[in-house]
Amino acid sequence: MSTKLKATKKVKSNLPKLHKPLFAIAVAEWNSNITEALLQGALDVFKREGYKNVIVKHVPGTVELTYAAARMIDIEGISAVIVIGCVIRGDTPHFYYVCQSVTAGVAQLNTVGNAPIIFGVLTTENEQQALDRAGGALGNKGAEAAEAAIKMADFTQSIEAHGLSRRFSMRDIEAALEEFNAMENYDDFGDDEFDDDYDEPDDKSHHKKYN
């Protein structure tokens, strides 16, 4: 049974209006008949809302979406990132490994707080379920991801407008972690050990050459 994928329905927008946002979308090539329909759904929403600054990049599969998102949140001025993929259950445990990898990866990147990453990855039992969610009977999850991206970009702008947050690049975070780990090395020394370094020695002979 096949499903004819439909274009995103034209509806009256109740989404927030953003000032010159920049969006990025990473799309998996695997199951491209599904992922391209999801991508089109997202692009339709951005076009409807009047947002033209959208970067689209393709990666081989769903696992690679985490790396793509990690690089995209470092793009200067980025408002939100969407990852789009489709994983269909097969006869091997590969389905679980892929789903766990991309879910955990995106969740971890979102804790960084640099830019929201919207999860637009379908994880379905079969192809029909995926088709139903890529412009079929159950709508287009790519379009829903774009709407979520706009809402989260607005949330970020509202927070930053009040000076309540600061954006960090992944390099900033790595440098901070390295500095923290280096500081932890000082825990190996006790107070007594530092005090001994400054104890006034009884023998003053080593000062004679400076007298």
**Count of other CB atoms within 10 angstroms of residue 164:** 8
pLDDT along the chain (211 residues), means of 10: 51 81 97 96 97 97 95 95 93 79 91 91 94 94 97 91 62 67 56 49 48 37
For the question of whether the overall pTM of this predicted structure is more than 0.85, the answer is no
Among 19, 58, 94, 207, which one carries the catalytic annotation? 94
Give residue 48's pLDDT: 96
Other Cβ atoms less than 10 A from the Cβ of 29: the count is 14
Please classify residue 101 by burial: count the beta carbons closer than 10 Å to its beta carbon, then call 0-12 exposed, 13-18 middle and 19+ buried: middle
Q: In the prediction, which pLDDT does 198 show? A: 46
Q: Which pLDDT does position 209 carry in this prediction?
A: 43
User: How far is the C-alpha of 72 from the C-alpha of 74, rounded, in Å?
Assistant: 5
The verdict on whether 162 is a catalytic residue reads no
pLDDT of residue 199: 52
